[in-house]
Amino acid sequence: MEVLKFQTNIKCSACLAKVTAALNETVGENNWEVDLENPQKTLTVRGDNSANEIIAAIKEVGFEAGRL
């Protein structure tokens, strides 16, 4: 199982709520988390998905992510 990290523009719990369904569908529930306390708003994903799949899922709901 690979661990991928991304810098995002997910800023608050409301933003987090908007991406939850997309990330749960893409990588599975409990396989991801966003550190809202970190200035980079780091998204950590555990699983076998490609970085491009994760970035696309986030972009679909109006947010941005870049690989760290």
Kindly report the pTM of this predicted structure: 0.93
- Give me the pLDDT at residue 1, please: 79
The range of the structural domain enclosing residue 42 comes to 2-67
- Give me the pLDDT at residue 56, please: 97
Task: Quick: pLDDT tens for 5-58.
Answer: 999 999 999 999 999 999 999 999 999 999 999 999 999 999 999 999 999 999
Residues present in the chain in total: 68
* Structural domain total, the chain: 1
CATH number of the domain that residue 54 is part of = 3.30.70.100
63: tokens are 């947010």
Torsion of CA 59, 64, 26, 5, to 10 degrees: 160
